[in-house]
A = this chain, B = another copy of it.
Amino acid sequence: MLGLTTIMNRRRTKQREAILAVLGNASDHPTADQTYEEVRKQLPRISKGTVYRGLRVLEEDGVVKELSLPGTVSRFDATVRPHYHFRCDRCGRVFDLDQPVIEELDARVAKRTGYKVTHHELEFRGLCRECQWRSL
């Protein structure tokens, strides 16, 4: 689960450049599929596989970031009361934190942006206790 730095010579290709250009120009944050559709306007013969691979590569190189969470599975929580989480980047487990929720953040963002803010989700990342041993 840890993003190990791959030792590999990356080649500069028009496909990956097109992907990066699309992401750079987009103000919202395109999904892989939206990126594919956009790139296709420049490179009609590009395939979905290439876009997915390209995004993955760009992310490994730190050029692009995947939002929210890696992987596609949802996780469920029986605790409904608002609280924050910690996700271990190695084992993937998610733990509850009893850190107090900072309510005033919502109002601050609302005032600055004009969005109606109902709540926020805060997730800390790193290594849990068990995985800290195993990691070195």
Any B CB within 8 A of the CB of A78? yes
Nearest CB in chain B: distance from A117 CB, A: 4
Given contacts A120-B123, A121-B123, A124-B117, contact A65 B77 (CB under 8 A): yes
Any B CB within 8 A of the CB of A7? no
The number of chain A residues touching the other chain, given as a range, is 35 or more
Considering only residues 64-93 of chain A, those with a C-beta below 8 Å from chain B are 64-70, 72-80, 84-86, 88-89, 93
Which of A's residues lie within 8 Å of B, judged by CB?
20, 23-24, 26-33, 35, 55, 59, 62-70, 72-80, 84-86, 88-89, 93-95, 97, 99, 105-106, 108-110, 112-129, 132
